[in-house]
Amino acid sequence: MEETFEFLKNTTKVNFVATINGDAPSNRPFGDPVLFENKIYVLTNKKKQVSKQIKLNNKVCIVAYDAENENWIRINCELIDDSNNISAKQAIIDEFDWAEEAGYTLDNPNFQALYIANADVKIYNIDGNVLNSYTF
């Protein structure tokens, strides 16, 4: 899990999360993840379409590209809503100086904290060869 977190947090600038929107795929950029209690968390707003899509089907695919080393990662996983975990939300707020200004406060009912579970992770080189593979 540590290499997965490092790849998403420090190796790449943007991670893309793909969900199912009805009968079609939907993809959007996500920001930095947060490591808390041995789980990789991401945040969103419950009013966004991505949150509604994850609520209907929490199986997602996260992809990110490392342009410097020409490697990329694919994570097929579930995103588990942990929004009732105040400690996780506080860890997210502490990680990002912009979080509270953007409305991610502990009293905001739309602040959604999700963690990666049941992950099948593969890191590939530019030729499509698997460099590393993990499950967690």
- Residue 32 has what pLDDT? 87
Burial 19-44 (b: 16+ CB within 10 A, else e): beeeeeeeeeebebbbbbeebbbbbb
Instruction: Give per-residue pLDDT as tens, 121-135.
Output: 999 999 999 999 999
Question: What percent of the chain stands above pLDDT 90?
Answer: 98
Are the C-beta atoms of 105 and 111 separated by less than 8 Å?
yes
Domain of 117? 2-135
**Number of domains into which the chain is organized:** 1
Q: What is the CATH number of the domain that holds 65?
A: 2.30.110.10
- Element spanning 42, H or E: strand 39-45
pTM of the predicted protein model:
0.95
Can you give the C-alpha Rg of the chain in angstroms?
15
Mean pLDDT, the chain, rounded, equals 97
- Residue 31 has what pLDDT? 86
- Residue 13 has what pLDDT? 83
Instruction: Give per-residue pLDDT as tens, 37-55.
Output: 999 999 999 999 999 999 9
Instruction: Give per-residue pLDDT as tens, 63-113.
Output: 999 999 999 999 999 999 999 999 999 999 999 999 999 999 999 999 999
Residue in 85, 118, 81, 113 with CA at minimum distance from that of residue 99 = 113
